[in-house]
Amino acid sequence: MMLPAQGLQRAASTVSGLILAIGLVVVAGLGCRRQPSGPKATPLQITIACPRNISTSLVIIANQKGFLARGGDRTVLLPFESGKAALARMLAGGADLALVAETPLAEAILADAQFKILATVRQSSRDVAIVARRDRGIQAPADLRGKVIGYTKGTSGHFYLDTYCLVNKIDLGGLRLVNLPPLELRSALLDGRVDAVSTWNPHVAFLADQLGAGAAVFQDETIYTELFCLVARPDFIRDHPAQVKALLEGLFRAMDFVAQSPAEARDLVAAYTQVPPALVAQSLSRHDLRVRLDQALILGLESEGRWFLESGAVKRRELPDVLRYIYLPALLEVKPQAVQVIRVEESGRP
């Protein structure tokens, strides 16, 4: 049936009105979408407890070059003498993240401390060593027997000393051990209060330089590989996933920077660590500066955890599952090929 002309006009007017109304709704919706959903987030200050240690070079460089933060956020490095001290500050709530070797982490795992490992940022089998005075009759490993040896308890220097003596059949009970902070180890050896020290670079390089021909350096690359880790509080990871991703991305940028601008990278590390550039360059040659999570970390944590248990330093009978302390999602998102950890998924398959 044909509609009268007036009816057709009225129908056309109604359809046009509907189209106009729909168009206004769409435009309004697009306009709303362009508006910010809420107030702009306040820039975050991220605090990283970072030892004055060449092992932390990637973080030092990334921070100085502005690689670690984005969107107005800011990173601040808190200097410490050792990774163990840096970890203690973070666990006490005084920092969001920390840099520390795996030995203090193994001890912290046995104490049920709350932290997650985001990545290792350096590994080296030529970082830790025993430096001895030749004028105390120390020429060979066997000469360490009965000597006064300084170390820092619960650190990689402590683990290396124990392992080195075991391999060389030196009875630890026959040594006179002195527990000292890292910087005091240097002065104690130089002024003769101890006969030898077990420590890491740059202290090893510094002492060898200061003692010259009078230094005997005992280093076995086959018995220990030290890993330096970036760790974070679980609540920081939960509340700031974008910042965690930015931190890891910044470390990969720092890796590229080291390769492209080695002299500037060396100077940035020297300024933060307060170590002469020549010693920094010497020490960096012993370091593998790469960001990763691999099976070496698992094995190291388990081995050193058992060492702590057997020494009686902690009061528990078994080693917890160390994999629970490693946070995989962030690095898997940023660079999956940097993750080579054997793990069991919820399905039970590796």
CATH code, 192: 3.40.190.10
CA-closest candidate to residue 121, choices 14, 17, 220, 269: 269
C-alpha 246/C-alpha 118 separation (Å) is 12
Structure confidence at residue 38 (pLDDT) = 47
Whether residue 63 is predicted with pLDDT greater than 70 in this model: the reply is yes
Determine how β-strand 339-340 pairs with β-strand 293-294.
parallel
Structure confidence at residue 28 (pLDDT) = 36
In a domain, 345, yes or no: no
Three-class SS of residue 57? helix
Three-class SS of residue 7? helix
Structure confidence at residue 284 (pLDDT) = 87
In a domain, 78, yes or no: yes
Whether residue 241 is predicted with pLDDT greater than 80 in this model: the reply is yes
Structure confidence at residue 34 (pLDDT) = 40
Average pLDDT score over residue span 35-45: 65
Residue that terminates a domain, selected from 183, 218, 253? 218
Buried/exposed code over 93-121 (b: 16+ C-beta within 10 A; e: otherwise): eebbbbbbbbbbbbbbbbeebebbbbbbb
- 171, two tokens: 């009875």
Structure confidence at residue 59 (pLDDT) = 98
Whether residue 340 is predicted with pLDDT greater than 60 in this model: the reply is yes
Average pLDDT score over residue span 137-156: 97
Residue that terminates a domain, selected from 176, 202, 218? 218
- 344, two tokens: 């069991």
Q: Is 336 found in the same domain as 231?
A: yes
Q: Is 165 found in the same domain as 76?
A: no
> What does DSSP assign to residue 341?
-
Which range among 11-25, 49-63, 115-129, 196-210 shows the weakest confidence by mean pLDDT?
11-25
Q: Is 319 found in the same domain as 252?
A: yes
In a domain, 256, yes or no: yes
Structure confidence at residue 6 (pLDDT) = 40
> What does DSSP assign to residue 134?
G
Q: How confident is the model at residue 39 (pLDDT cuts 50, 70, 90)?
A: low
Structure confidence at residue 159 (pLDDT) = 96
Mean pLDDT of the chain: 88
Domain that holds residue 310: 45-124+226-340
- 73, two tokens: 């956020």
Task: Please state the pTM of the whole predicted model.
Answer: 0.84
% of the chain at pLDDT higher than 70: 86
Q: Is 171 found in the same domain as 115?
A: no
Integer angstrom CA distances of residue 144 from 168, 182, 218, 251: 10, 20, 10, 40
Average pLDDT score over residue span 272-298: 93
Q: Is 185 found in the same domain as 104?
A: no
Tell me the one-letter amino acid at 168.
N
**How many CB atoms are located within 10 Å of the residue 302 CB?**
17
Q: Is 306 found in the same domain as 157?
A: no
In a domain, 137, yes or no: yes
In a domain, 144, yes or no: yes
Q: Is 334 found in the same domain as 255?
A: yes
Average pLDDT score over residue span 271-300: 93
**How many CB atoms are located within 10 Å of the residue 17 CB?**
10
Q: How confident is the model at residue 12 (pLDDT cuts 50, 70, 90)?
A: very low
What is the gyration radius of the CA atoms in the chain, in angstroms?
28
Under a CB-based contact definition with an 8 Å cutoff, are residues 121 and 289 in contact? Answer: yes
> What does DSSP assign to residue 93?
T
- 252, two tokens: 């990969």
In a domain, 148, yes or no: yes
* Helix/strand/coil (H/E/C) assignment for every residue in 216-256: EEECCCCCCCEEEEEEECHHHHHHCHHHHHHHHHHHHHHHH
In a domain, 310, yes or no: yes
Under a CB-based contact definition with an 8 Å cutoff, are residues 316 and 107 in contact? Answer: no
Under a CB-based contact definition with an 8 Å cutoff, are residues 319 and 116 in contact? Answer: no
> What does DSSP assign to residue 162?
H
CA-closest candidate to residue 128, choices 93, 103, 99, 98: 103
Q: How confident is the model at residue 33 (pLDDT cuts 50, 70, 90)?
A: very low
Average pLDDT score over residue span 154-162: 96
Whether residue 254 is predicted with pLDDT greater than 60 in this model: the reply is yes
Structure confidence at residue 40 (pLDDT) = 58
Whether residue 346 is predicted with pLDDT greater than 80 in this model: the reply is no
In a domain, 272, yes or no: yes
Which range among 46-50, 63-67, 249-253, 316-320 shows the weakest confidence by mean pLDDT?
316-320
Whether residue 37 is predicted with pLDDT greater than 90 in this model: the reply is no
Q: Is 146 found in the same domain as 95?
A: no
- Domain count of the chain? 2
